[in-house]
Amino acid sequence: MKGLIYKSTGSWYITQDETGAFWKTRIKGKMKIDEQISSTNPIAVGDYVKFDVEDESVNTGIITEVLGRHNYIVRVSPHNKTQKHIIASNIDLALLIVTIDNPRTSTGFIDRFLMTAEAYHIPAIIVVNKTDLLKPKHKETLRHWMDIYGKAGYEIYPVVATDPATLATLFNKLQYKSTLFSGHSGVGKSTLINQLIPGIALKTNQVSGWSGKGQHTTTFAEMFDLPGGGRIIDTPGVKEFGLIDFEKPELSHYFPEMRQRLNGCKFNNCVHINEPGCAIIEAVRAGEISEDRYISYVGILESLDEEW
């Protein structure tokens, strides 16, 4: 049977078969993996697998093969810092939920997220939540963000997660796609998922990632079906994704508004700091590339000297 992994508990994998039925599946003995990546988890949410029925009366099965992944995102394993952990695979869209206030999301964080998504070739969109709470100065910030990210080529959706009337455009955008949800704790991720998927009842106001005992709890990603078609992948406790390894001149490839202007730079290894004939610096001076985005770019460039 062919199946799709919706949830992993470490030892069991909740798998949906092609008729929509769910199975409790596990690995036993040898399993075929198309891909050679060394990770602490052999199977991730979003993986397509083949499995044999073990006990039809209780819907259990044995996974025999993990099919090739279209893409996947990793982070450092919570158990072993030298190992990778696959958070999810086969992602069509990365959605970042941010808030201007309560809590405040920094544009530096947003830019780093967008850059990582670009590096993984996963399209990204930004959702600005809690727009019902904005004071006049915050409304000014929202206009500024709409301008910055619009100019950079990103879609940005202002919403109120508690008000379904504000979510229709976003809902349509998610149809038939497998979308990874990310965002700081408290921005309204669970509230938004609850609105998009009536009846799922995720707990809100939950602080995830660390248990009360001060020990790191492994919070697993979980996938949910969206009414009408499409899926949402929730990643509780995962603040940032991606471990990327690249050389400095590559960084501007992951800023779309820079990428499209790179041919204009005089030197093909230009890092757009102080080289003569730099098309990026010219575009920043002309107001075609936002200064905020350029500042984020420089910050990330400098951080590449440090260990990520």
Ligand X SMILES: Nc1nc2c(ncn2[C@@H]2O[C@H](COP(=O)(O)OP(=O)(O)O)[C@@H](O)[C@H]2O)c(=O)[nH]1
- What is the contact surface with ligand X in residues (CB under 6 A)? 129-130, 132-133, 160-162, 183, 185-191, 204-205
How far apart (Å, rounded) are the C-alpha atoms in residues 197 and 171? 10
Which residue is it, tokens 């609105």? 195
Which residue, 189 or 231, has its beta carbon nearer to Mg ion? Answer: 189
Contact residues for Zn ion, defined by CB under 5 A: 265, 270, 272, 278, 280
Chain residue at closest Cβ approach to Mg ion: 190
How far apart (Å, rounded) are the C-alpha atoms in residues 243 and 87? 12
The interface partner of residue 183, options being Zn ion, ligand X, Mg ion, none and the CB cut-off 5 to 8 Å by kind, is ligand X
The answer to the question of residue 194 lying near Mg ion (CB under 5 A) is no
Q: Which residues contact 210 (CB under 8 A, 6 or more apart)?
A: 216, 217
The interface partner of residue 119, options being Zn ion, ligand X, Mg ion, none and the CB cut-off 5 to 8 Å by kind, is none
CB of 251 to Zn ion, least distance (A): 11
CB of 217 to ligand X, least distance (A): 15
The interface partner of residue 223, options being Mg ion, ligand X, Zn ion, none and the CB cut-off 5 to 8 Å by kind, is none
Sign of CA dihedral 207, 145, 242, 125: positive
Chain residue at closest Cβ approach to ligand X: 188
Q: Which residues contact 241 (CB under 8 A, 6 or more apart)?
A: 73, 74, 75, 87, 116, 180, 182, 235
How far apart (Å, rounded) are the C-alpha atoms in residues 108 and 124? 16
Taking each helix axis as running N to C, give the angle between helix 136-152 and helix 291-303, from 0 to 180 degrees, rounded to the nearest 10.
Answer: 70
The interface partner of residue 94, options being ligand X, Mg ion, Zn ion, none and the CB cut-off 5 to 8 Å by kind, is none
Which residue, 61 or 183, has its beta carbon nearer to ligand X? Answer: 183
How far apart (Å, rounded) are the C-alpha atoms in residues 195 and 201? 9
CB of 286 to Zn ion, least distance (A): 14
Sign of CA dihedral 47, 53, 55, 56: positive
The answer to the question of residue 190 lying near Mg ion (CB under 5 A) is yes
The interface partner of residue 132, options being Zn ion, ligand X, Mg ion, none and the CB cut-off 5 to 8 Å by kind, is ligand X
Spatial contact of 72 and 88, defined as CB atoms under 8 Å apart: yes
How far apart (Å, rounded) are the C-alpha atoms in residues 44 and 34? 14
CA distances in angstroms from 285 to 83, 129, 144, 183, listed in the order given: 43, 31, 18, 32
The interface partner of residue 14, options being Mg ion, ligand X, Zn ion, none and the CB cut-off 5 to 8 Å by kind, is none
Judged by DSSP in three states, 128 sits in strand
Which residue, 133 or 273, has its beta carbon nearer to ligand X? Answer: 133
The interface partner of residue 114, options being Zn ion, Mg ion, ligand X, none and the CB cut-off 5 to 8 Å by kind, is none
Which residue, 160 or 279, has its beta carbon nearer to ligand X? Answer: 160
Phi and psi, residue 294, nearest 5°: -65, -40
Which residue, 45 or 160, has its beta carbon nearer to ligand X? Answer: 160
Which residue, 183 or 242, has its beta carbon nearer to ligand X? Answer: 183
How far apart (Å, rounded) are the C-alpha atoms in residues 191 and 193? 6
Which residue, 13 or 181, has its beta carbon nearer to ligand X? Answer: 181
CB of 256 to ligand X, least distance (A): 26
Which residue, 110 or 270, has its beta carbon nearer to Zn ion? Answer: 270
Q: Binding residues for Mg ion, per CB under 5 A? A: 189-190
